[in-house]
Chain A
């Protein structure tokens, strides 16, 4: 029984740790499939985290916090889309600037709440509030609705991209904007919507960190998860299920690192903290070594600006 609880708790904790990566990664995956490379994921996540926390603290509503975070991420993405799609700014430079902007903006927004734990969150979400329930139930309580939502989003995005007509059009735009335009597709509109979706998901990922996972606001609390999400998208060869595998791997190593500390494995804590990042990158590089597969799976128009001829 104790073993079962342990295994289950590792599994659950892995899923929990993977959730913010899934949200952010799925959003970026959709944006990149439409041919837009947005390196501002980290910045959009941070703004989402700060705005979500602030909105929750002000209104007291968990759902309003999430919605505010989604909106904040989308607004950041709209700014990026305006610069890169309409004004044809360089996508890489604009994305990096967006991240830098997001770091500063989120610190400013979150200033009044820095280090204050979130209060009044829905009880069912929090394992700590369920101390008196049996061990197994405690473990399952870790799986809050956001975890389920993230995994549902994987299924939805995968089906959207592979099965739906709109998903096909989105992939076509990412493959060749010129050909899609010649076929009468509104390339810029589709890219705008895809980037907006990416921002909304990044905002949600941020709120997931500050309202559910941690739950508190700390400056720079994403700790590079936005970058990991970006890397996951590439190494997953733009496929939602591979992205999920990468996110779970990251989650698992994060948890394993805590467990190792609990078992008294003495190691430099700083070195140990790099392990999830290192392990995820190494494994994904090994998986996606096949250059031809990578080339065929990559959206051919990724990062290339498109200006309609008329």
Chain B
């Protein structure tokens, strides 16, 4: 796609040059003839939507995925990178989005294991401290990982890479789990690394971040390079157009006609049930029929606790939550479902569905009455018919109603779960991160299904970390921060930046209060 001009003879050799890299997974093409050039000391952004092929590309560079075609040149020489050890030997470090850490081991022990050498953790500790100090990473080697926040865990991962003095550091969406302040201090570390001529390959999709941090951007779309540019010199709109192209269908927005109040939460306060939880503090909001309320915020600010309280996994004061006129705060999940509440949990397999059970069996997990259950007995025929209907209506790609849930892709399983809850015709639907880790096609389908349900008169609460998603489907957005929920504001009166500031502002206020 790109015509990268042949470098003049006196130009410096690029640190990394990927040429014509292709990779297929089954029927899908993840990478199709991708070219990528990274220079020493350069902060290079890899931009693209979910499923554009960014992760596959960097996994091929890091030796996790074996490419079908294409070459990788390292410091001017063609190299084979069969596994991560080979990548590390070349001087490539990678910080994954989901950390590979041993929770009950200490930071030093984790780093020692990750380095793969023979050094004992005790011998390593002074070096860990020294490296942490040098880059201004606040890390305590003797602490156990399960005590650490996500931001701290990420610092441990970065530190582990830095211990090997890498020439190229790959970061996969590092700020998706960080507060704006944490992100800012991460950027300071990255700039410092780049100044020491370490190259950085930065995967992201937040345009402002990339414009603030990166020197070069390669934009991927549907597995191909859509363009290369200097993100500081092009407008965010131009970048976004390159990322999205023009062929993505926007979900159809309906005319918003909020009806009567269907869900009232008043002064919901809950103490955390484990040491690492967040206290919910005086949560109050109203949800009307036909309305989608988005709850934004950085993970770990009480989302899990709020969802548990709303779904009935944790009980609260009876009158703290009302479904229509009925006080349901003290009712369990089954009773709440009977009253007309449906719930799409965060974890697909484990909470939303049972991996080993068939789709027919999974379909009836949240069905408690006829036609699936009669006189306390399961009617298998009805269950199979239900699953069949869901598969057809929501275009779930599966081998049939007997296929185990684990055999479906994430996006298809999510479509099935969303379909199951929608099919119950709930009064109120709670959706937790409904499109997390789901491909673009399924994302559009799921968002459209939620919009349709709202149009049909249900009230929907969507908890998501994806601000773009909330802006696309929600009527009003409220920010959850440190266990407190801000005022819900109509989307038409909000900007992405304003919500970001609110997320940051509340966190900053919190710190001032604490000080």
Q: Mark B83-110, 1 if CB is under 8 A from A, else 0.
A: 1110000000000000011111100010
Known contacts being A184-B84, A184-B85, A292-B275, is A168 close to B113, with CB within 8 Å? Answer: yes
Give the Cβ gap from B122 to chain A, nearest Cβ, in Å. Answer: 7
| B83, B114, B275: residue with the most chain A Cβ atoms closer than 10 Å | B114
B119 in complex: contacting residue of A165, A176, A179, A297, CB < 8 Å: A165
**Is the CB–CB distance between A169 and B113 below 8 Å?**
yes
**Is the CB–CB distance between B83 and A172 below 8 Å?**
no
- Considering the chains assembled together, what is the distance between the CA atoms of A163 and B122 in angstroms? 8
**Is the CB–CB distance between B103 and A165 below 8 Å?**
no
Q: Mark A148-168, 1 if CB is under 8 A from B, else 0.
A: 000000000000000111001
B104 in complex: contacting residue of A163, A184, A185, A300, CB < 8 Å: A300
The interface residues of chain B lying within 8 Å CB-to-CB of A183 are 100, 113-114, 116
- Considering the chains assembled together, what is the distance between the CA atoms of A175 and B109 in angstroms? 12
**Is the CB–CB distance between B121 and A168 below 8 Å?**
yes
A239 at the interface (CB under 8 A from B): no
A182 in complex: contacting residue of B100, B109, B119, B275, CB < 8 Å: B100
- Considering the chains assembled together, what is the distance between the CA atoms of A185 and B84 in angstroms? 12
Known contacts being A163-B122, A165-B120, A168-B112, is A175 close to B105, with CB within 8 Å? Answer: yes
**Is the CB–CB distance between A164 and B120 below 8 Å?**
yes
A184 in complex: contacting residue of B105, B116, B120, B121, CB < 8 Å: B116
B146 at the interface (CB under 8 A from A): yes
- Considering the chains assembled together, what is the distance between the CA atoms of A69 and B53 in angstroms? 58
Give the Cβ gap from B148 to chain A, nearest Cβ, in Å. Answer: 14
Which residues of chain A (166-214) have a CB below 8 Å from chain B?
168-169, 171-172, 175-176, 179-180, 182-185
Which residues of chain B (106-159) have a CB below 8 Å from chain A?
109, 112-114, 116, 118-122, 146
A296 at the interface (CB under 8 A from B): yes
The interface residues of chain A lying within 8 Å CB-to-CB of B100 are 179, 182-183
**Is the CB–CB distance between B119 and A171 below 8 Å?**
no
| Chain A interface residue number, banded | 10 to 19
The secondary-structure label for the interface of chain A is: helix
Which A-chain residue is minimally distant from B84 (CB atoms)?
A: A184
Give the Cβ gap from A170 to chain B, nearest Cβ, in Å. Answer: 11
- Considering the chains assembled together, what is the distance between the CA atoms of A169 and B118 in angstroms? 10
Which A-chain residue is minimally distant from B119 (CB atoms)?
A: A165
Which B-chain residue is minimally distant from A178 (CB atoms)?
A: B100
| B113, B118, B121: residue with the most chain A Cβ atoms closer than 10 Å | B113
**Is the CB–CB distance between B101 and A179 below 8 Å?**
yes
The interface residues of chain B lying within 8 Å CB-to-CB of A165 are 112, 118-120
Known contacts being A184-B84, A296-B146, is A172 close to B101, with CB within 8 Å? Answer: no
Which B-chain residue is minimally distant from A310 (CB atoms)?
A: B83
| Chain B interface residue number, banded | 20 to 34
- Considering the chains assembled together, what is the distance between the CA atoms of A176 and B104 in angstroms? 10
The interface residues of chain B lying within 8 Å CB-to-CB of A163 are 120, 122
**Is the CB–CB distance between B120 and A175 below 8 Å?**
no
B120 in complex: contacting residue of A168, A176, A179, A180, CB < 8 Å: A168
**Is the CB–CB distance between A176 and B102 below 8 Å?**
yes
The interface residues of chain A lying within 8 Å CB-to-CB of B83 are 184
- Considering the chains assembled together, what is the distance between the CA atoms of A300 and B146 in angstroms? 13
The interface residues of chain A lying within 8 Å CB-to-CB of B105 are 168, 171-172, 175
**Is the CB–CB distance between B103 and A175 below 8 Å?**
yes
Which residues of chain B (300-342) have a CB below 8 Å from chain A?
none
The interface residues of chain A lying within 8 Å CB-to-CB of B275 are 292
Known contacts being A184-B84, A184-B85, is A175 close to B104, with CB within 8 Å? Answer: yes
- Considering the chains assembled together, what is the distance between the CA atoms of A184 and B113 in angstroms? 10
Give the Cβ gap from B372 to chain A, nearest Cβ, in Å. Answer: 32
- Considering the chains assembled together, what is the distance between the CA atoms of A235 and B100 in angstroms? 29
**Is the CB–CB distance between A300 and B103 below 8 Å?**
yes
Give the Cβ gap from A308 to chain B, nearest Cβ, in Å. Answer: 13
The interface residues of chain B lying within 8 Å CB-to-CB of A172 are 102, 105, 109, 113
- Considering the chains assembled together, what is the distance between the CA atoms of A183 and B146 in angstroms? 19
- Considering the chains assembled together, what is the distance between the CA atoms of A168 and B105 in angstroms? 9
The interface residues of chain A lying within 8 Å CB-to-CB of B85 are 184
Known contacts being A163-B122, A164-B120, A184-B83, is A175 close to B102, with CB within 8 Å? Answer: yes
Give the Cβ gap from B69 to chain A, nearest Cβ, in Å. Answer: 21
- Considering the chains assembled together, what is the distance between the CA atoms of A182 and B98 in angstroms? 13
Which B-chain residue is minimally distant from A176 (CB atoms)?
A: B102
- Considering the chains assembled together, what is the distance between the CA atoms of A114 and B76 in angstroms? 76
Which A-chain residue is minimally distant from B144 (CB atoms)?
A: A296
- Considering the chains assembled together, what is the distance between the CA atoms of A208 and B299 in angstroms? 56
Give the Cβ gap from B158 to chain A, nearest Cβ, in Å. Answer: 17
B102 in complex: contacting residue of A164, A179, A292, A297, CB < 8 Å: A179
- Considering the chains assembled together, what is the distance between the CA atoms of A184 and B119 in angstroms? 16
- Considering the chains assembled together, what is the distance between the CA atoms of A164 and B101 in angstroms? 19
Q: Mark B173-213, 1 if CB is under 8 A from A, else 0.
A: 00000000000000000000000000000000000000000
The interface residues of chain A lying within 8 Å CB-to-CB of B112 are 165, 168
Which B-chain residue is minimally distant from A299 (CB atoms)?
A: B104
- Considering the chains assembled together, what is the distance between the CA atoms of A102 and B85 in angstroms? 43
- Considering the chains assembled together, what is the distance between the CA atoms of A216 and B388 in angstroms? 69
Pull 14 A–B residue pairs with CB atoms less than 8 Å apart, ordered by A: A163-B120, A165-B118, A165-B119, A168-B120, A169-B113, A171-B102, A172-B105, A179-B100, A179-B102, A183-B113, A183-B114, A296-B104, A296-B146, A300-B103
Report the 7 A-B pairs with minimum CB-CB distance, sorted nearest first: A175-B102, A179-B100, A165-B120, A172-B113, A182-B100, A172-B102, A184-B85
* Besides the known contacts A165-B118, A175-B104, A182-B84, 7 further A-B residue pairs in the complex with CB atoms under 8 A apart: A164-B120, A165-B112, A168-B109, A172-B105, A179-B101, A180-B102, A183-B113
